[in-house]
Structure formats: structure tokens, C-alpha cells
Structure 1
Amino acid sequence: MGGDAGALLKSIRDGLATDAGENPFVVAVTEGRAPLSAVAALAAEEHLIIPSDRRGFLTLAARADEPAAVDFFAGLASGESLVFPLVAPLAAGAGMEQESLAAYEPRAGCQAYPAYVSWLALNAEPAAAALALVANFAAWGGYCAALAAGLRERYGFGDEACAFLDFFAEPAPELDQKAVAAAQAALDRGDPLSGTHRYARLLHAYETGFWQTLAGIDA
């Protein structure tokens, strides 16, 4: 029984270590090579992903037994509600109006990540899912920070258009703390959280596919 949830999170993150320089879409934006259509697609994909992830997080909160896990997923769901209105200004900054945003047809490579979050919501031990999710959040935040900087410098985007990216670029250490607390409670009661590494690895792979799909948009 037992184990160190903080050490488990560190081992997962070490195995997933990456940086913005390895992300082809982020590199294209920071160098000013990405077409605005790809930036618009980022916003349009997120316009669909956010409501899906919010439902998934609320489902995980409802399934969770530990207060820390409930707080973690409820907090994530609340964050999705806060950030959703910031998607349209990002799309508009890239030249996509509301009508086109609503009519956008998603790309499978971008929607694999939220589909897997939905799978986790129905099948994973909530504490294991919490740890797997936060293991990937640091990379996501770094990507958003680099994109916001690139869009400002190379494309002339203003603060309103970058607000969505700025939201996620801010560090959120409290999320790590809540996820680790939830995982520690599960470990202490004898749950080995055996699926955590797999969940984190697949989330990372699907997020990588998300960025690669956007990087493949050339017009």
C-alpha cells in the first residue's frame, strides 16, 4: 500500500519531457510561417474541444470519491467555462468570423485528444486521470505562451486575440497540488493507479497529433 504521488508525477513528466522547439506548429507560428488559416483552425478546434472536455471533467468530478479529486475536476470544468468566450476573439484575429466558426468541420487528428478525455471520463480511476492530465499541462502551457508571443510579434495580434492563449500560459501550481493530493489518497487506500503512465502517454500522443495536424495546414 502507499507510494509517493509526487514522485509518480515527476517520473511521468520526465518520460514525456518536451519543449516548444519540438512542436512544428509552434515553431511555424514563432517564425511567422504558419498561415492564418491554421491559426483559425486552432481556435475552431478548441471551440469544439472545450465543451467536450468540460463535460468530461464534470463526469470525472461526479465519479470521484476523494474531495481533492472532486475539487480538481470541478476546477478544470470551471476553467473551461471561463476560457470558452476567449476562443471567438482568437478566431476573429485570424480572420474567421462567427458564422465560419460555427460551421467549421473538425479534423480527426485534432479531436483525438478530447475523444480520449471522454474515454477517461467513463473508464479511468479519477485520481489516475487527474495525474495523467496534469503531467501534460506544463507542455500545453509552454506551447500557449510561445504561440501568444509569436502571434503578437509576427502577426500583430493584440491582447484580446491572444487572451485564450494567455489564459493557459499562466502557471497553475494549485492544479498539481490537487492532482497529487487526489493520487496520494488513492495510493494510501491501496489503489496502485496502474493505468496512470498509460493514460499520460496516450494523452501526450494525442496532443502531439493535434499540433501535427495544425502544422499540416498550408493554406
Structure 2
Amino acid sequence: MARTARELLERTAGNLAPGPHANRLLPLIARGAAQRSTLAALALEQGQVIPADRRAFLHLAERPDTGPECAAFFTGLAESEALALDRLAAYADACGCGAEAARAAYQPLAGCQSYPAYIAWLAMNGSPAEVALALTADFAAWGGYCTTIAEALRHHYDFADEACGFFDLFAEPGPELGQRALAAVREGLDTGRLDEDRAHRQGRLLQTCETSFWHALWEEDQRVP
């Protein structure tokens, strides 16, 4: 049975929703038990992820096989990443790792950087509409994580609102993101450029990379005495 774009988005997000214990670090942050050095590592890893993802989204928007609705979706994502990078600076400063020297000295974790690596692979090899569907499913989990982290930073770590702005941005995405995702998926269906099974595989791999990101940080947190 043919599905509408909205049904496909909802079905994919539901099928790919992570389990309650997929993110081992989140419960530690939620109760204020994560090391502050781990919060700093989160900032430094995101400082690597965001620029890479932004370039990948711009590439997807500019590919010759990208339709106008998909292009609008990826352009919007790239603009959001630029805003996120600005907000990340306040969070990094609050974690004590905002200085250029701290960023230069930091050694990124392979488990964290598998996510932008796969985004880059999708930008080169994926069908734009399928990538849009896979990404939108992953964003649902990421937004929930950001909601929990923003609340914990305020209540357990005494972070000011400005320092939480990075997580607030993703915790409450604007309605235009959902509208653009819907239009991009509809365009893929209308043009025959969206294979549901392939998009599901891509979304599953994205979720695995997402889990790897948080697990790598959790492992680092456990090493701190």
C-alpha cells in the first residue's frame, strides 16, 4: 500500500526510535552525575561535528540530482548548523574549553566522529530524499536528548541560559523544519527517488552512529576517578 509522506515520516521515526537504555550517558547527565570533563568533551566533539555536517548538508542541497524541496530542506539544516555553532561557543566557555588552545589540544573520539563521517558518506552516495527521511527520524531522538541535557545543565550544573542555548535550539526546533522534511519526502515519493527500505537502512546506521557518539563519551566519563 502506498503511504503518504507524513505516514512514511511517522512510521520511520517510530521504527527507528532508540530504546530507553540506548544512551548510557544521558541518565548520568540527567541526575548531575556526569563528570564536568565529559561535558567539556561533548562541547569539543560537537565543535568537530557541526562544521562537518554543515558542509555535507550544503553539498546535498547543491547536488544536481537534488530537487527544489530537498534543496530547501538541506539548506535549512545548514543554516541551523551555523546558528548551532554560534551557540555552542557559550556552552564551551561554561565548560572551560572555549579557548582555541583547548580545541587545538583535544583529540576527537572515533566513536563520536563516526556520525559526521556517515553523514558525509550519505552526502556523496545517498538519494537526497532518502537522506532527508533518515535524518528526520534521527532528529527526533536527538531533540529529546537535548531537552534532558538543557534541563540538567540548569538544575544540576548551574549553567546560565546562554550556556544552554545550544541544546535549547535542538530541543525545540521550529515548525518549518517539519514542513520542509515533509515536502522533501513528498518530492521523493512523487519523483520515484525514495526507496523506503533503503532509507530505513540508512536511518538505522545513523542511529547506530548516534549511539556510538554517546557511548564513547560515557566510556570516557567512566575512566575519570
- Give the TM-score band, short-chain normalised: over 0.9
Among 206, 211, 216, which residue is 1:213 paired with? 216
Letter in 2 for 1:46: Q
Give CA deviations for 1:76-102 in whole Å, capped at 9, x if unaligned: 001111111222221221222412023
Q: Which moved more, 1:141-150 or 1:99-108?
A: 99-108
Aligned equivalents of 1:167, 1:20: Cα separation in 2:
23
The equivalent of 1:94 in structure 2 is 95
Aligned equivalents of 2:173, 2:90: Cα separation in 1:
22
CA contact (8 A) 1:20 1:26 kept: no
Cα separation, partners in 2 of 1:102 and 1:196, compared to 1, 3 Å: same
Aligned equivalents of 1:160, 1:103: Cα separation in 2:
25
CA contact (8 A) 2:9 2:182 kept: yes
Q: 1:53 deviation in Å?
A: 0.3
| Structural mapping, 1:176-191, within 5 Å | 176-191=178-193
| Structural mapping, 1:45-60, within 5 Å | 45-60=45-60
Cα separation, partners in 2 of 1:50 and 1:158, compared to 1, 3 Å: same
Q: Which moved more, 1:5-14 or 1:201-210?
A: 5-14
CA RMSD of aligned residues (A): 1.8
Aligned equivalents of 1:145, 1:34: Cα separation in 2:
16
Aligned equivalents of 1:87, 1:71: Cα separation in 2:
24
The equivalent of 1:138 in structure 2 is 140
Letter in 2 for 1:79: S
CA contact (8 A) 2:129 2:193 kept: no
The equivalent of 2:12 in structure 1 is 12
Aligned residues: 219
Corresponding residue SS for 1:127: helix
**TM-score, normalised with respect to structure 1:** 0.93
Q: Which moved more, 1:60-69 or 1:14-23?
A: 14-23
Structure 1: any 5+ residue segments left out of the alignment? none
| Structural mapping, 1:117-136, within 5 Å | 117-136=119-138
**TM-score, normalised with respect to structure 2:** 0.91
Residue 197, structure 1, aligned to residue 200, structure 2: yes
Cα separation, partners in 2 of 1:101 and 1:88, compared to 1, 3 Å: farther
Identity across the alignment (%): 47
Q: 1:6 deviation in Å?
A: 1.6
